[in-house]
Amino acid sequence: MKAVAPERRVDFAALRKEFPIFERMVHGKPLIYLDSTATTQKPLAVLQALDRYYRTYNANIHRGVYLIAEEATQAYEDAREKVARFLNARSSKEIVFTRGTTESVNIVSHAWGRKNVGKGDVIVLTEMEHHSNLVPWQLLATERGATIRYIPVDRTGRLDLSGLDRLLEGPVKIVSLAHVSNVLGTINPVAEIARRAHAAGAVIMVDGAQSVPHMPVDVRTLDCDFLALSGHKMLAPTGIGALYGKREVLEAMPPFFGGGEMIREVRLEGSTWNDVPFKFEAGTMNIADAIAFGAAIDYLNEIGMEAVHEHGRELVEETMRVLGSIPGVTIYGPPAAERGAIVPFTVDDIHAHDVAAVLDHEGVAVRAGHHCAMPLHTKLGLTATTRASFYVYNLISDVERLGEGVRKAKQVFHR
List the pLDDT tens digit at each of the 415 positions of the chain: 444 444 458 999 999 999 999 999 999 999 999 999 999 999 999 999 999 999 999 999 998 899 999 999 999 999 999 999 999 999 999 999 999 999 999 999 999 999 999 999 999 999 999 999 999 999 999 999 999 999 999 999 999 999 999 999 999 999 999 999 999 999 999 999 999 999 999 999 999 999 999 999 999 999 999 999 999 999 999 999 999 999 999 999 999 999 988 888 989 999 988 899 999 999 999 999 999 999 999 999 999 999 999 999 999 999 999 999 999 999 999 999 999 999 999 999 999 999 999 999 999 999 999 999 999 999 999 999 999 999 999 999 999 999 999 999 999 997 6
How much is the pTM? 0.96
Q: Contact 79/197 with Cβ under 8 angstroms?
A: no
First to last CA, the chain: 48
Give the ranges where 20-100 is alpha helix by DSSP (H): 44-56, 67-87
Q: What pLDDT is recorded for position 415?
A: 61
Residues 6+ apart with CB under 8 A from 335: none
Taking each helix axis from N to C end, the angle separating 287-303 and 44-56, rounded to the nearest 10 degrees, works out to 150
For residue 372, indicate whether it is catalytic: yes
pLDDT of residue 387: 98
Distance, in Å, from the CA atom of 181 to the CA atom of 368, rounded to the nearest integer, reads: 16
Exposure of 115 by Cβ count < 10 A (0-12 exposed, 13-18 middle, 19+ buried)?
Answer: exposed
> Which residues lie closer than 8 Å to 269 by C-beta, 6 or more apart?
none
Question: 372, 382, 395, 412: which one is catalytic?
Answer: 372
| Predicted pLDDT at 1 | 43
Give how far Cα 59 sits from Cα of 49, 145, 260, 294, 341, Å.
Answer: 15, 45, 16, 17, 38
The DSSP-derived string for 83-111 is: HHHHHT-S-GGGEEEESSHHHHHHHIIII
Distances (CA, A) of 195 to 163, 169, 202, 294, 357: 15, 14, 10, 31, 44
**Looking at residue 112, what DSSP letter applies?**
I
- Rounded to whole angstroms, the maximal C-alpha distance in the chain is 75
Rounded to an integer, what distance in angstroms lies between the CA atom of residue 346 and that of residue 330? Answer: 5
Per-residue model confidence (pLDDT) at position 414: 78
DSSP helix/strand/coil, 390: coil
What pairs with residue 123 in β-bridges?
Answer: 148, 174
What pLDDT was estimated at residue 274? 84
